[in-house]
C-alpha cells in the first residue's frame, strides 16, 4: 500500500474519532477562550462612622455606617457584622448583620444599620466584613459618654450658669433674727437656643449641711427666657439661725428635671462649708427644724404640763420649807 495513502487514512481516522468523542462526551474539548473560574474582586472596610439616634430614658440608638471599597471583578454574597461591646465590662451588648449582596461596580458601597444599647457608659463598635462565609476585613471604633445623649423630654437649651463671676446659685440675708433667718435666693439661667424657653420652674431646697435635714423648700416660676439671654429667678426662704446650709436648685419643665446646681449658705460664723465639702461637724438641735404648723394638741398639752411642773410652789425645796414652818408654828402653839 502506498505510504502516503496510509498516512492520509490514519489522519482521517483520528479526526473522525475526535469528532465522535466530542459529540458523545460534551465538554471533553476545552474552549480556547475559557479562562477558568472568575476570581472575585477585593473588598475591604474603607471607613466606619457612628451617629447618635433616638434615645429614651433607658436606651439610645446608634447609627452605624460602614463604607466598603471594591475593585476589579464582581464580588458575590458580601455582608457586614456589627457588634457593640461594653467598654467597661467587655460584655456583648447587641449585634446586627447587614446583607450587602453582590457588588459589581468599582468604588465605595455603604452598609447602614442601627444598634440599640443601654444609655450608659461607653461601647466598642466592631465591624467585620464577609465575602461568602470568609472574613476578609474588620475595623473598630469607640464611643463614650452615651448617657449624655438625652431623650426629647430631657433636652433643653436652658441651664444654670457656671461661672465664678455669675454663680448658678447665690443668696443674701433679708432678715437675721435670733431664732430664724430669712434668705433671698437667686438662681441664674442661660438660654443658649434660638427660641424662647417657656414653662420652666426652679425649686430651691435648703438642707442643713451636717445632717442633710431639709429646712426649707420652695418652687417659683422661671417665666420666659429669651433666646441667647441670661436671666435670674428669685425666691425667699426662712431657716433656723446659726447653721450652715446647702442650697440645691432644680430646674424643671413639666415635672421633668432639666438641670441642677448647688450653692452654700454659711450662717454659722465659726464654721464654714463649701459646695464640695464640710470642715467640721456641729451640734444639732432637731427641735430648731420642727414646723409649728405640724404640732398636735398632745404636743401642746405635754409642753404645758412640763411648764406647770416646774412652776413655784411645786418643787421639793419649797415643800420642805413649808413642812418646817408648820412644825415651828405647832411648837409655839403648844408653848
* Domain coordinates in residue numbering, the chain: 1-31, 43-148, 156-288
The answer, yes or no, to whether residue 231 has pLDDT greater than 70, is yes
> For residue 85, what pLDDT is reported?
97
The answer, yes or no, to whether residue 32 has pLDDT greater than 90, is no
Surface-to-core class of residue 148, CB atoms within 10 Å of its CB (0-12 exposed, 13-18 middle, 19+ buried):
exposed
The residue ranking higher by pLDDT, 318 or 72, is 72
The mean-pLDDT minimum among 46-60, 285-299, 307-321 falls in 307-321
> For residue 119, what pLDDT is reported?
95
Q: What separation in angstroms does the CA of 5 have from each of 12, 17, 103, 330?
A: 11, 18, 60, 183
The domains spanning 43-148 and 156-288 adopt the same CATH topology: yes
> For residue 252, what pLDDT is reported?
95
The residue ranking higher by pLDDT, 276 or 108, is 108
Task: Among 3.40.228.10, 3.30.70.260, 3.40.50.300, 2.60.40.10, name the CATH number for the domain at 43-148.
Answer: 2.60.40.10
The answer, yes or no, to whether residue 282 has pLDDT greater than 80, is no
pLDDT range class, residue 304, cuts 50, 70, 90 = very low
Q: Decide if 78 contacts 100 (C-beta within 8 A).
A: yes
> For residue 303, what pLDDT is reported?
44
Mean pLDDT of 214-224: 95
The answer, yes or no, to whether residue 308 has pLDDT greater than 50, is no
| Average pLDDT score over the chain | 82
The residue ranking higher by pLDDT, 235 or 41, is 235
**HSE (side-chain half, CA atoms, 13 Å) at 48:** 23
The residue ranking higher by pLDDT, 312 or 128, is 128
Contacts of range 262-268, beta carbons closer than 8 Å, 24 or more positions apart:
262/168, 262/169, 263/167, 263/168, 263/169, 263/170, 263/171, 264/209, 265/171, 265/183, 265/206, 267/181, 267/239, 267/241, 267/242, 267/243, 268/242, 268/243, 268/244
Q: Considering the domain 156-288 in this protein, what is its CATH number?
A: 2.60.40.10
The residue ranking higher by pLDDT, 190 or 178, is 190
Amino acid at each position: 500500500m502506498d505510504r502516503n495513502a496510509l498516512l492520509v487514512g490514519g489522519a482521517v481516522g483520528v479526526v473522525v474519532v475526535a469528532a465522535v468523542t466530542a459529540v458523545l462526551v460534551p465538554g471533553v474539548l476545552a474552549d480556547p477562550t475559557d479562562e477558568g473560574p472568575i476570581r472575585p474582586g477585593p473588598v475591604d472596610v474603607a471607613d466606619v462612622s457612628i451617629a447618635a439616634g433616638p434615645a429614651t430614658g433607658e436606651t439610645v440608638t446608634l447609627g452605624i455606617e460602614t463604607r466598603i471599597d471594591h475593585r476589579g471583578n464582581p464580588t458575590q454574597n458580601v455582608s457586614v457584622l456589627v457588634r457593640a461591646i461594653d467598654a467597661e465590662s467587655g460584655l456583648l451588648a447587641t449585634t446586627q448583620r447587614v446583607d450587602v449582596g453582590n457588588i459589581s461596580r468599582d468604588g465605595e458601597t455603604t452598609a447602614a444599620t442601627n444598634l440599640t444599647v443601654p444609655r450608659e457608659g461607653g461601647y466598642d463598635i466592631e465591624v467585620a466584613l464577609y465575602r461568602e462565609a470568609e472574613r476578609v476585613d474588620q475595623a473598630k471604633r469607640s464611643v463614650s459618654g452615651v448617657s449624655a445623649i438625652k431623650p426629647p423630654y430631657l433636652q433643653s437649651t436652658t441651664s444654670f450658669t457656671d461661672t465664678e463671676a455669675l454663680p448658678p446659685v447665690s443668696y443674701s440675708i433679708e432678715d437675721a433674727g435670733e431664732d430664724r433667718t430669712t434668705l433671698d435666693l437667686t438662681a441664674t439661667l442661660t438660654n443658649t437656643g434660638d427660641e424662647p424657653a417657656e414653662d420652666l420652674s426652679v425649686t430651691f431646697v435648703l438642707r442643713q449641711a451636717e445632717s442633710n435635714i431639709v429646712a426649707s423648700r420652695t418652687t417659683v416660676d422661671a417665666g420666659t427666657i429669651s433666646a441667647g439671654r441670661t436671666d435670674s429667678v428669685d425666691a425667699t426662704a426662712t431657716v433656723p439661725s446659726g447653721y450652715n446650709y446647702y442650697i440645691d436648685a432644680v430646674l424643671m419643665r413639666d415635672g421633668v428635671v432639666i438641670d441642677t446646681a448647688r450653692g452654700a449658705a454659711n450662717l454659722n460664723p465659726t464654721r464654714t462649708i463649701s459646695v464640695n465639702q464640710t470642715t467640721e461637724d456641729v451640734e444639732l438641735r432637731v427641735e430648731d427644724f420642727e414646723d409649728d404648723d405640724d404640732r398636735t394638741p398632745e404636743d401642746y398639752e405635754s409642753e404645758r404640763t412640763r411648764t406647770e411642773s416646774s412652776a413655784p410652789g411645786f418643787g421639793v425645796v419649797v415643800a420642805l420649807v413649808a413642812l418646817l414652818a408648820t412644825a415651828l408654828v405647832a411648837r409655839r402653839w403648844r408653848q
